[in-house]
Structure 1
Amino acid sequence: MQQDGPVGWQRQRSETFVFDGYEWCPKQGRAVFRYQLDGMTLSERFDFPLAEGAERRSKTEALGAALDLLHWTAGISYWKAGCPIQVVFAGRSPDAWQAAWLNRLYREGLAEFAYRQGLSAQKFEVFESDRPRPPAAPSQGLDDSFLVPMGGGKDSLVAWARLERLGRVAATLQVGQAGLIGSVAARTGSSHWRIERRIDPRLAELNAAGAYNGHVPITAINAAAAVVLALLHGHGGIAFANERSADEPTLFDDSGTPVNHQFAKTLAFERMLDAWVRHYLAPDLAVFSLLRQDRELAVCREFAGLRQFHDVFSSCNRNFHLDGPRTPRWCGDCPKCRFVYLGLAPFLPPAELRAIFGADLLDDERQIDGFERLLALDGQKPFECVGESNEARAAIQWLSRRPDWRDHAVVRSLAPKLKAVDVPELEALCQPGGSQLIPEGLLHAS
């Protein structure tokens, strides 16, 4: 029996979640994904911008398989409201390999959510299938152009600049309506596409009724939406801007299991997405992060030279709430603002950073505790998209040796706390390295 709202619903009694199929309108580029939570009907809508040839490409099997990926990935926002152990597919359903993939996404992508709610993420393995894996999809005849997903911050701009120097940028992309991202993308001068996403308002009603609520792997949802757009427009590559730093867990729980706020930005998830795309959708669609070999400090060093963007970018996530921005570019009081300020400080003079942020965060005594949390001296970083604790430590140590920074309140207070810690040199942390999926022709784009 279906119901329209959460009257009488209790998360502790949540039993069943249904992936209730989806509707795709190729002429409008609109996908409506349907779900049911304990009989409550829910839906989410994505509107994709169309381009020449998009309607023809929208009728391919690959596009249908990409919509499956987005449907099942976006469902994480609704499933987590009650975390029911029974999952049903009323429409298309995953095979055994895909079920294992989804179990890992829900388990590790919701690890922070589980940690904060006092739940066991191991119980989030709710997908089952005995269907065999089908043969690999054929090539889709995609071209050699790229989409660059934009988040409004420094990372996507560095990725864009690297491709632009090679003459390879086709278009920038955003998911959602955030005006700041559009303004930043306009500064690049590239074509810009916007995928509109409409979450079911009944999710807010569920939250008000006591649903489980918390962090979801939004980057995984946005990545799946980007894959749909790439197939619609015929792009052969999606160049994400996720750094090597994202692989460091936020903390380890009492059982020693890593909990990573940035799971959907890790190399592990990148490999998962690549494997899904190449087998089920298009072997000629490359999905990779152009910044994968670089830590945050290296990205900050490169971005310091992109001064044409310094007056428009923002990495503060308070710009990107569903109900609109809650800050004018920088709130100046969150882990993201602090880390970006600290990461840029070794590469920009104090006056330039003050001009960007509207304040000197490193010379404000009220900020000391917040910056100290970035050092993770207790083994836990903030639950945010920030770099490695070693990077924060190296930056503080480096600034403490600089006449223009060493007397700033935060530097003066925190530098002595690093004397008993083995801190790597900043320059060493700026060197590229590690595994990656970057196409050969782009490997040395920086």
Structure 2
Amino acid sequence: MINVIQPRLTQVFRFVRHAYDHGVVELVYAFDDGAELIEKIYFPDAPALPPERAEAFARALQLLHLIAGVSYYKAGVPPTIEVAAGPLDDATADVLDALYLHGLAEFAYRNGLDLRGRIAFPRGGSAPSAAISLGLPKRTLVPIGGGKDSLVAVEAIKAIGGEATAVWVGNSPLIAACAERTGLPMLNIQRELAPGLFELNRLGAWNGHIPVTAVNSAILAVAAVLYGYDSVAFANERSASVATLEYDGLQVNHQWSKGYAFEQLLGDWLHTHVAADLDYCSLLRPYSELAITRAFARLTPYFDTFSSCNRNFKLLGPKPADRWCGHCPKCHFVFLALAPFLSKPRLLGIFGRNLLDDETQSAGFDALMEYQDHKPFECVGEGAEARAAMFALSQRPEWQEDALVARFRSEILPQLDPAQLALEPWLQPDAEHRVPARLRPALATIG
């Protein structure tokens, strides 16, 4: 049991200790002098760690402890952060200060908090010796999320004959089915949150969105060193870098830890602190959501397996009766983004209904297009992308009579500049990315 402690009244959040033993990681945190919060992460069939990787592993494990703490820090957001192991070098503190501020920006916005000037990891510690190349095997961990993007990344790597493993954190049967369908070797890592966190929630803790991609990224950096992989290739698209909204001078981005700024911070840190030959990147960074959905539209073997509906992946509460609830922003966006690239019967077969012929869903699609509302706090594309997709449908006879497409034509389109609604520019890749040379040929298979 947690000591009776009001999390919002605490003054100190402490990173107490971390440990690794035979595939099990323990991460320990505490508020003030309250009971310890112990999270566990399980790496299955963990091999013996080669001695030459021991220091790199220790550094990656420390970063995991510091990043995963965001799940607990948010419960009280106390003004002081303490690290029992001592102050951090400035580069490490920079990564964490940025992650906690921007990764918790949505949480702060929704709870009426301002974290600016409040988050300050202890710094001034000695910089570690520069990381060396470990000679990591040339193979890639590809995180699987159950949705379209990671499957596009998998098939791109397979297309160039790259060696890869499908990896995921947690126990989602839907993700497991997608991973199995890829035909790749699989690695399923389990994360067990500290039970005391749920007691803190009962006692009135602050709650809300955390940058879970950052936590999973840190877990996979540890896995890469432990199992021997020279790259971790996520499937985060360029629109993940675009803020959901701006509030009081601060950009609030639901997807901040999927964005390019975090990718650069973590990728550079891993090169300098863990292993010079460990690459962290997003294979899909050059592409828009629409370009990725066009690529996914060719991957028919996954149509009966994938789902981007986040209600499937909630920790608590009921799940949809099938793979698509049909009412959340993710369902809305994936339906709209796929519609220009699939036949209408094929798309309706995937979702089991026509979301664009349901007048009760107008508010959800309006938000996607940033019409009378801001973009949803979800992993969806830019408002301009959604407008371009809807415009494309409005020009096609098979969609024109559907309720929300007809409404777009009559009510929204007259307020827009048709010259800004072309689909084609969204299908062109950008040059900005961190994809390592070994994987760059895969980019040509996506467009």
Is the pair's TM-score, using the shorter chain for normalization, greater than 0.5?
yes
| TM-align CA RMSD | 1.6
Contact 2:7 2:31 (8 Å CA) reproduced: no
Which residue in 2 is equivalent to 1:74?
Answer: 68
* Alignment coverage as a number of residue pairs: 438
Distance 1:43 1:177 in 2: 19
Matched, 1:24 2:20: yes
1:344-423 equivalences under 5 Å are 344-378=338-372, 380-415=374-409, 416-422=411-417, 423=420
1:45 pairs, out of 28, 32, 40, with 40
How far apart, in 2, do the equivalents of 1:420 and 1:164 lie? Answer: 44
Aligned 8 A contact 1:103 1:124 in 2 = no
The one-letter amino acid of 2:426's match is L
Correspondence 1:291-302 to 2 at 5 A = 291-302=284-295
* Bigger mean CA offset, 415-424 vs 42-51: 415-424
Query: What is the alpha-carbon distance in structure 2 between the residues aligned to residue 294 and residue 5 of structure 1?
Result: 46
Residues 246-293 of structure 1: CA deviation (Å, up to 9, x unaligned): 01100011x232100000000100001111100110010111101000
Between the aligned partners of 1:18 and 1:281, the Cα distance in structure 2 is 24
What CA distance in whole angstroms lies between the structure 2 residues aligned with 1:403 and 1:349?
A: 12
1:147 counterpart = 2:141: yes
Distance 1:77 1:411 in 2: 41
Measure, in 2, the Cα distance between the counterparts of 1:40 and 1:114. 25
For residues 398 and 91 of structure 1, do their structure 2 counterparts lie closer, same or farther at Cα, with a shift above 3 Å needed?
Answer: same
Task: Answer whether contact 2:394 2:408 (CA < 8 A) is retained.
Answer: no
> Which 10-residue stretch deviates more, 406-415 or 268-277?
406-415
1:260 corresponding residue in structure 2: 253
CA contact (8 A) 2:229 2:278 kept: yes
The one-letter code matched in structure 2 to 1:43 is: I
Q: Give 1:303's aligned residue.
A: 296
Partner of 1:428: 425
Q: Any residues of structure 2 matched to 1:46-125 within 5 Å, and which?
A: 46-50=41-45, 53-56=47-50, 60-91=54-85, 93-125=87-119
Contact in 1 for aligned 2:244/2:252 (Cα 8 Å):
yes
Tell me the amino acid that sits aligned with residue 430 of structure 1. L
Structure-1-length-normalised TM-score: 0.95
Letter in 2 for 1:250: T
2-side partners of 1:89 and 1:168: how far apart?
40
After superposition, what is the alpha-carbon deviation per residue over 1:129-174, rounded to whole angstroms, capped at 9, x for unaligned?
A: 1123222111111011111000000000000000000010321100
Give deviations 1:3-54, integer Å, cap 9, x for gaps.
x4252x32442111110111210x2x10010011122310110001235x54
Which of 159, 173, 187 does residue 179 from structure 1 map onto? Answer: 173
Unaligned runs of 5+ in 2: none
Deviation at 1:58, TM superposition (A): 9.2
> Structure 1 residue aligned with 2:336, among 336, 342, 350?
342
* Higher alpha-carbon deviation: 413-422 or 299-308: 413-422
CA distance in 1, matches of 2:164, 2:25: 24
The one-character-per-residue Cα deviations of 1:298-335 (angstroms, maximum 9, x if unpaired) are: 00000000000000000111111224761121111100
- C-alpha contact 1:264 1:270 (8 A) present in aligned 2: yes
**Conserved 8 A contact 1:6-1:209:** no
Partner secondary structure for residue 405 of structure 1: helix
Matched, 1:10 2:6: yes
TM-score by length of 2: 0.95
Q: Output the CA distance in 1 between the equivalents of 2:13 and 2:377.
A: 28
Long gaps (5+) in structure 1: none
Q: How does 1:168-317 map onto structure 2 within 5 Å?
A: 168-253=162-247, 255-317=248-310
In the alignment, the residues of structure 2 paired with residue 182 and residue 166 of structure 1 have an alpha-carbon distance, to the nearest angstrom, of 24
CA, structure 1 residues 54+332, in 2 after alignment: closer, same or farther (shift >3 Å)? farther
Structure 1 CA distance, aligned partners of 2:333 and 2:256? 19
State the distance in 2 between where 1:54 and 1:402 align. 59
Distance 1:66 1:276 in 2: 10
Q: Aligned equivalents of 1:318 and 1:56: distance in 2?
A: 40
Instruction: Tell me which moved more, 411-420 or 279-288.
Output: 411-420
- 1:149–1:40 Cα change, 3 Å: same
Instruction: Give the secondary-structure state (helix, strand or coil) at the position aligned to 2:340.
Output: helix
Partner Cα distance (2:94, 2:159) in 1: 39
User: SS at the partner of 1:40?
Assistant: coil
Q: Is the 8 A contact 1:147 1:169 kept in 2?
A: no
Match for 1:130: what amino acid?
G
> Which residue identity lines up with residue 272 of structure 2 in the other structure?
H
Q: Aligned partners of 1:355 and 1:57: how far apart in 2? A: 53
Corresponding residue to 1:437 among 426, 429, 434: 434
